[in-house]
Every structure is written in structure tokens, then in C-alpha cells.
Amino acid sequence: MTDLTELVQNLGAPRVLVVGDVMLDRYVWGNAERISQEAPVILLRADKREERLGGASSVATMLQALGACTSVIGAVGTDGDGFHARRILTDLGIDADGVVADPDRPTTVKERYIGRAQAKHPQQMIRVDYESREPVSDAVERQLADTLVAKIREADIVLVSDYDKGVCTPGLLRVAIEVAKARGIRVIADPTRGGDYAKYRGCSSMTPNRLEAGLATNRNIRTHAEALTAAAQLRDTLSLEAGIVTLDKDGMALAHTDGRSAIFPTRPRQVYDITGAGDMVMATLGLALAAGADYDSAIRLANIAGGLEVEKIGVATVTRDEILADLLHAPFRATERVPGAAKVAALPQLLTELDSRRRNGQKIAFTNGCFDVLHAGHVQYLAEARRQADCLVVALNSDTSVKQLKGPTRPLNPEVARALVLAGLQDVDFVTIFSDKTPISVIEAVRPDVLVKGADYHKSDVVGADFVESYGGRVHLADLRAGFSTTNLIERMKAA
């Protein structure tokens, strides 16, 4: 997972233009207490009302939470719901100048009622939609197209979120595709359900789900082979760069133009609500592609983000920190019974743990290294490091980082194995993996009270020493046990 970790850490802030149906999702929460006396229906005793953005504006919200610079082009009504939707977009820092107020249509609102059984286990009971599915008028389409042409000049990618509410007309999509091609940027579409996908012809790719792809290709998609065939058919008939079919719990199917194809599985999740999963896949896929990722990596990242989204209730956002935490812990799920595995933490989780320790008056010691082949010298060193404070954090070089430092033949042990060995030591409280050549970014985030390195260093050569001392921390140079060296140990093993 190191390559995906590095992708997330280097996503930057791509400029993403989202075109499609702006919606408002309203949630009414309450306890489902009994059967109504008026009819054989559940009586919901409401106690909370919540509003979030849906449709294309949901994709924009997710992109913004993932660190993109996001703009939206769409339409709302001139009603209070439309004003509210535009205000939420603006409050989130999303450019909503391209959202047109159309007096001839209502703002699309999806109202969901969420019931709890005995004050727990919330589940959606019913959804009520307020909407118009008529295409926007010619005048509104022209207004949207003019704005699109202006906004697309500043975009790194265009995402089309088509919920069949009238905004994504063939004419508007033709403008989006032609202008994007002229600028050399991709257009990715999340299509509506239906058999005729001609209006998406020329897009870079699409993300239909199993049912949508089946209707568009006149297939019943049950197996991986059928999904790959459908993806290839969509690619060829619509002149796509790549054909994609999303397969819910089975992941995604991808068919490249060069004939390569693959299924990208997703790991099983505790699913609470699938609402918004497609939007999250679309947002993450588009963000990764805009940041320069290939389709394979973008799909793998989108699978993870979509999995995190279904573990939340309703249409919810996912952050880069959550993705990084999930990536870091993925290799340890099969080893969760191994002593110390719970000590391995992504940086966001680590900082939360350290905040708690500090509130309890504990001091934090920090050291770092490759720890490729652990020996007695390492054990003695870590014990001395731990004695400098109440808690010891070990920052472990990732496999990529070790190769940069030690050469292509190292490490001998992969990062997961090295992390587990370190975490199994009594003197180590936390292990976090970093991919940079030096740990300075981790040191700046952790702000340790004591920075520990081996006595073979001069303090002036210790990465982060000046920073730690600038706020009153100290640097400790620990004794090294004579006769122990990982490099020498490896040479002796080769000679044995």
C-alpha cells in the first residue's frame, strides 16, 4: 500500500470542475418507538433535522473535504432550498458562481427519515423526493454553457454528475467534452440510469454501476468476466480512454484501450449506509486522475474511499487522513492478534493518542530509523530512548524510503514486518511509518519533548534538532552497543 500512501500524500490541490444536478439532502432523525394508531406504519419520534448537499454538490463537497479546489456548475430553484444549497456550497469554500437560479423548476430535495430501534442502530425508513426531471430551458442551458466554457479554462479535470434532473443535457455535455478535449483535460462522467449513453460519447471515462452498465450494454452483469466485457463494450462504443464498471462490494472492473483489463476488489466493510458511495468513488477517482495518477491507482484509491463512506450514515465526507489511516492499517488487519499490532498508527491517529498522553502529563520521546534486521544493539538503544520520557514514538522508514537510503537490495524485511517487530517491544509505545527521506515532517507534527539519535551522530547533524530545541525540547544521543551493525550482520549472513 506504500504507493497509494505516497499518492495520497502528493495529491496536492487539483482544480476540479463538477457539472451536474445540485441537490439538497435532508435527514430527519428519531426513535422508531411503536406502530401508529392511525395506520399500520412505524411512528418516528423526530429529534434532529440535518441538511447536506447531494448529487453533483455532494461530489463537490467530498472533493473539497479531500483537499481539491472545487467549482460547481448546475441549477437550483429560486426557492429557499436553492438559496440554502448555494449558501452551503459557498460556506464550504466551493465556487458556486456557476450554479444558476432557475425560476421554472424547484430545487431537488431528497428527504430521508432515519429511525433508531431502541435509541440505536439507525436505518433509513423512507425517502421523499421533491424534483423536476424536465431538461432545463434553452436559455438556462446557454447560461450554463457560457459559464462552463469560462470555468473550464481553470480546471484540471471535469466531472459530470448526472442524476437525470435536467441539467446534463446532450448540448451541455457536448460543450464540456469538446472544450475539455481542446484543453487536453479529462472528462469523467457518472451517468444516469438508462439505455442510451450517446450523450457521454467522447468522455475520458465513466463510472456506471452494475445495473446501469447492464442496461447500457443490454447485459446481465453477474460475474467478473461479464463486468469486464461490459466495460470493454462501453469503452469501444463511446470512444472512452478506459471503460469502468463499479461493482459495489466486488470493487470495480477496468478495461484499458490497449486491451488490458482487471478487476480491482475492495475489502469487506461494516456497511451502515450505501448512500453516497457512488459520489465518493467519483470524487476520489477524479481527484487522483487530476493529480496525475493512472487509472489503476486511481481506482484502487477510489475503492478505499468508497469503502470508508459506506461505514458512515448518509452522504458523508472522507478526509485524506482517514484514507491514510485505513491504508496504514490494512496490512495489519490479518495480524490484529499479533502482540503490539495496535501500536502501529497513522500520523493523524498518533497525534490524537499523543494529545491524550500529554493531557495526562506525559512527556514524549521520538526516534527514527530503518530497523531492517533488529538486533541487540537496537533493543538496547530503544530501551535507552524510552527512559528519556514517558512514551516512545518510533518513526519507521517505509520500504521506498529505505531503498532511497540503502539501495535497491534493501530492506530485507518489508515495512509491515519491521513495524510489527518494533511494536512487539515493551519499550516502544507507538510506531508510525513515513515515506520521506528524512523524518522532519513527522518531527514537526509530533513536537517531541526529547529527540533521540545514536551517539555516532553529532547533534548538529541530527535532523530536527534545531526545531526541537526551538520550543524547549532536548536532543539525547544514546549509547550504541559495540559490535552490532545491520550491514555487518547482513554480510555475515551472506557469507554463512
The CA distances from residue 451 to 105, 301, 439, in Å, are 62, 34, 11
List, in sequence order, the alpha helices (H) in 184-260.
Answer: 210-217, 224-237
Please, which residues have CB within 8 angstroms of residue 152's CB and are 6 or more apart in sequence? 17, 158, 176, 179, 180, 183, 185
Q: Residue 10: which of 406, 324, 433 has the closest Cα?
A: 324
Q: Output the CA torsion 404→405→409→412 (10° steps).
A: -110
- Is 326 catalytic? The answer is no
Cell numbers representing residue 31 in the block: 426513535
Which of 281, 262, 307, 258 shows the shortest CA–CA distance to 188?
Answer: 281
Q: What's the CA gap between 211 and 171, in Å, rounded?
A: 25
For 19, 207, 276, the CA distances from 14, given in Å and listed in that order, are 16, 20, 22
Yes or no: say if 166 and 135 are a contact pair by the CB < 8 Å rule: yes
CB atoms inside a 10 Å sphere around CB 236: 12
Among 111, 101, 59, which Cα is nearest to 76's?
101
Q: Where are the beta strands (DSSP E) in 55-166?
A: 69-77, 95-102, 108-117, 120-130, 157-161
Q: Which is catalytic among the residues 95, 273, 279, 429?
A: 279
Catalytic residues: 279
